[in-house]
Structure 1
């Protein structure tokens, strides 16, 4: 059974749990558990059975695919108050997990078993609304990623990625070429080639594990190119 402090946290991320005397509030208090997962923990590997459903109260989980060539693509991340739509789909359909889910930042999560999850979908409208809203939002995110990969040039997406994630003055991004490739759904070789072009044009300065933006205005022009 969850402790009062844990129930308070649950109410903060899922407002319909604020009243512990409601049927869903009582069931959540007695049937959910709070787990702590350190960074680097693999929650699911491709082909695993989805036996639990988790709602994060802190931290970040990255969900990604690895192709036959070893190339990675990040599908999405989820954090506080969110869950994994692939897990949701697998629990509802009794299918195996089709990707890999790894803890990116130390995470705590409220976990319920698959049978309880299905039971709550049938019994509690507020729980059902939460799950369907989650599915809708995350599906939109995945569709945006598909659109990016299929229809936007990699150099444009890479310029935009650098501008979004570099920080400081001058702006610096600490990341490997492999990490950037996984985020953009392309190969490390392609990322390295484009970064070399950016460097030759004076837009960036690239070193081991870091990229410094030298000309933000011209890099923004590259990010807006058609």
Structure 2
């Protein structure tokens, strides 16, 4: 565990903190599509992502989802931290986008390390700042971008996160994450295919030139 922590967080945390994380943290090897956090759950630990990617989703009153942002290697979720510190219920859903490895840090250590390690304080503040910027980008996209531009950005980000040009999502799943309808998404995907930007297949989408 120490080696994997050092590879992911060695440039962020000092050696003493990495050793403490290894001692008290719980290592998890999680497959793609696994639900890590559900809306309404009380969160007892904070995830530090060693590898892979996690998508963070919000749900409206009708049960429809909206993709907020992704977590990648070296990240953590500031919304999870806020729930941990406030002992409040989660307002987000976290699902692994790819096979992932992570370490769960117990909440009682978070305040202790904030006082003890400057690197941990900086990490927490930077995480809040980065996630806030991502949330603002999502808000700007919803408020100002047309759905076709949002779809292109979504496909580009999916391709980057999965490190390949194959998107293994149905039209309905994309519609859920973009808070749209399957009919609209299917129409826009067909338009992108006609432009030569993608290829549509039965169970996947191939990115050609976005």
Give the TM-score normalised by the residue count of structure 2. 0.81
In structure 2, the partner of 1:33 is 26
Computed over aligned residues only, the root mean square deviation of the Cα atoms, in angstroms, reads 2.9
In structure 2, the partner of 1:122 is 115
Q: Do 1:57 and 1:107's aligned partners in 2 also have CA atoms closer than 8 Å?
A: yes
Taking the TM superposition and a 5 Å limit, the aligned residue runs for 1:139-158 are: 139-158=132-151
| One of 36, 40, 43 as aligned partner of 1:43 | 36
In structure 2, the partner of 1:92 is 85
Equivalent-residue separation in structure 2 for 1:44 and 1:175 (angstroms): 21
2:27 maps to 1:10: no
Q: Do 2:30 and 2:100's aligned partners in 1 also have CA atoms closer than 8 Å?
A: yes
Displacement of 1:190 after TM fit?
2.0
In structure 2, the partner of 1:3 is none
SS at match of 1:105: coil
Equivalent-residue separation in structure 1 for 2:4 and 2:195 (angstroms): 50
| One of 101, 104, 107 as aligned partner of 2:97 | 104
| One of 176, 181, 192 as aligned partner of 1:187 | 181
| One of 135, 146, 149 as aligned partner of 2:128 | 135
Displacement of 1:152 after TM fit?
0.8
Equivalent-residue separation in structure 2 for 1:191 and 1:54 (angstroms): 32
Call closer, same or farther: CA 1:173–1:63 in 2, change over 3 Å.
Answer: closer
Runs of 5+ consecutive residues of structure 1 not aligned to the other structure: 1-5, 221-226
Larger Rg: 1
The count of aligned residue pairs is 205
Call closer, same or farther: CA 1:44–1:164 in 2, change over 3 Å.
Answer: closer
Q: Do 2:13 and 2:119's aligned partners in 1 also have CA atoms closer than 8 Å?
A: no
Call closer, same or farther: CA 1:193–1:11 in 2, change over 3 Å.
Answer: same
Give the TM-score normalised by the residue count of structure 1. 0.76
Could you list the per-position Cα deviations for residues 19-68 of structure 1 after superposition, in whole angstroms to 9, with x for gaps in the alignment?
3xx3x344334222322222232211101111101101112211112334
